[in-house]
Chains A and B, each alone.
Chain A
C-alpha cells in the first residue's frame, strides 16, 4: 500500500491561483466605503448601551440643530430592527431611488439626507431575513454587518458636512466595532443616557467598550433630565441627581441636559421638528455647538 501523501508538501509543489477572488471582493467593498465616506467631512455616531434612553430622539434633534446651523447633514439609521428616525423626521413615506450612482436617499427637513432600514420594510413588518433561523442563526451577525456596510458604501450621500449615525440599543457588543472598522476616520461618538442609576451603570460599560475599540467619545447627553410642566414650563426632577458623577468618572464632557417635554414627544410622534425657538430646540443648538467645538479641538491643539 502506497504511503499516504502529505498535503503540505503537495501544496508546496502546485501553483495557487485565486479564481474565487473573495479577498479582492472584500477589499473592493471596503474601498467603496472609503470612497463614499471620503466625501463627508465629519462622521459621528450616537450610541448608548441602554435601550429607551433617547438615542434616536437625540440623533434626530442633533442633526436638525446642525442643519439649522447651515451644515449639509446626512442621517443614517442603523437600528436595523427598530428603525424610527424616518417617523421622527416625518419621512415615513421616504424611499431610496436606485441609480447607477448608488441608492439616492430621500430628502428630509432642512435638506437632510435620510437613510434607514425602514425604507426597505412594509410599515408594520418586523425585520426578517431569509435564512434558517430555526437551525442556526450564526450567519445573522454577518448579515447585519454586511447590510451596515452596504448603507455606508452604496448610499449616494454626495458631499456632506456631517453624517450622524444612530446606533441600535445594546450596542456595546458588535455595532460600534463594525462601524469603527468600516470608518477608521470616524470623528467621534455622542453618548446618551438618562440619569437613572440603572441606565448609567450599563452606559458606563458601553463607554469603556467603545474606547477599547478605538472610538473617540466627544461627550454625553443627559436625556429625561427632569420634566417640564405642560402648563407653566417649570422643570421638575425625575431622578435623584444628574449625570455629572458619571461624566467625572469617565472623564467625558457633559454636552447638555434635555428635559422630558410633552411638546417634544408629540413632535417626535408626529414627525414635525420643534420650532427653532423652542427651549428644547435651543438646548440641542447648544449641544451641536459643543460637539463642533469638541471636533475642532484637534485643529486648535495640533
Chain B
C-alpha cells in the first residue's frame, strides 16, 4: 500500500506508527517534498485482518519464530503454557537488535520505545515468572509498549518486582488524570456498586482522547453508557 501526494506527484514516506486505541493502529506518512502528512487508522477488524496475514508491514528484518502467528493470536485464557520466557525474550531481543535497519514501521516503533525506555529509566525491575508469562501473551508488536507502561507504573510507586497484580494495578492507574470538582460530585451520584466500573470506563475514554482532566462535559458525554445510574 502506498500513499501519493497529489500535489507534488510523489509517494509519501512512512513516518511513524501509533496505537491510538485498543485493537487499532495508526500509521503516519509524510510527503518528502511539501511535508504534508496523512495518517491511516485501522479499525479492529482491519487490524485483525492485517495480523491474520502473518506478514510484517514494511518487511521482515528477521525470520519469523516457529508458529509465531498461532502462538500470538490465541485469546488470553485459552492458550496452554508457552515455552520458557528466556527463549521468547531472546527472540524478541534479537528482533530488536537493529532498530534503524528495518523498514517495518511496527518493529521500528517497538525498537524506539525499547531503547528510549532503557535510556530514560535505566534501573532494572524484576518480573516474576507469572508476570512474564502474561506479558508474553500480548502480541509482540504491542509488548514493549505494555511493558513500558507497567514498568513506569512500578517505578513511580517504588515497586521493585512486577507481578500479575502489579500489572492489573497499572491497568487501572489513572496516571496523571485528575477529576474536576463537579465531575467528582457527579461520580458520587452513581450507585456505589457500579461506581468503580463507571470510573474506570470514564478514565479509559479520557486517556484515549489524551485528556489530562475529567470534566463535567466528558461526564455528560459518557452518560449514555451509564443511563439509569443516577448521575
Contact = CB atoms under 8 A, between A and B. Distances in A.
Interface of A: 5, 7, 10-11, 13-14, 16-17, 19-22, 24-26, 29, 95-99, 102-103, 117, 119-122, 125-132, 135-136, 138-140, 142-143, 146-147, 149-151, 154-156
Contacts of B2: 16
Interface stretch (B78-86, B183-191, B221-229): B78-86
Given A98-B87, A120-B71, A25 B59 contact: yes
A230 B57 CA distance: 60
A143 B67 CA distance: 13
B53 A142 contact: yes
Given A19-B14, A20-B58, A7 B6 contact: yes
Contacts of B77: 122, 125
A130 B74 contact: yes
Given A5-B9, A120-B71, A136-B44, 15 more contacts: A10-B4, A10-B6, A10-B9, A25-B60, A98-B87, A122-B78, A126-B78, A129-B73, A131-B51, A139-B52, A143-B48, A147-B70, A147-B73, A150-B69, A156-B66
Contacts of A127: 74, 78
Interface residues of B, number: 43
Contacts of A99: 66
A154 B78 contact: no
7 nearest A-B residue pairs (beta carbon): A131-B48, A132-B44, A136-B45, A128-B75, A143-B52, A125-B78, A139-B48
A20 B50 CA distance: 13
Contacts of A16: 2, 11
Contacts of B55: 22, 25-26, 29
A103 B67 contact: yes
A275 to B, nearest CB: 32
A20 B59 contact: yes
Contact of B45 (A119, A132, A156): A132
A132 B80 contact: no
B207 interface: no
A132 B10 CA distance: 35
Nearest to B4: A10
B74 A129 contact: yes
Interface centre among A19, A24, A155 (most CB of B within 10 A): A19
B57 to A, nearest CB: 6
Nearest to A9: B9
Contacts of A13: 9
Contacts of A130: 48, 51, 73-76, 139
Interface string B33-70: 00000000001110011011111111110000111111
Contacts of B11: 14, 16-17
Contacts of A131: 23, 44-45, 48, 51-52, 73
A122 B75 CA distance: 11
B80 A120 contact: yes
Contacts of B57: 20, 22
A146 B11 CA distance: 31
Contact of B67 (A96, A129, A132): A96
A25 B56 contact: yes
Given A102-B66, A103-B66, A132-B45, A122 B54 contact: no
A96 B87 CA distance: 14
26 contacts: A5-B9, A10-B4, A14-B10, A16-B2, A19-B58, A20-B1, A21-B103, A29-B54, A98-B67, A103-B67, A119-B80, A120-B70, A122-B78, A129-B75, A130-B76, A130-B139, A131-B23, A131-B44, A131-B48, A132-B44, A135-B45, A136-B45, A140-B52, A143-B51, A147-B73, A154-B66
A77 to B, nearest CB: 13
B42 to A, nearest CB: 11
A114 to B, nearest CB: 14
A178 to B, nearest CB: 13
Interface centre among A117, A135, A151, A155 (most CB of B within 10 A): A135
B66 A121 contact: no
A120 B83 CA distance: 11
Contacts of B53: 22, 26, 142, 146
Contacts of A29: 54-55
Given A103-B67, A146-B52, A121 B6 contact: no
Interface string B76-106: 1111100100010000000000000001000
A11 B51 CA distance: 29
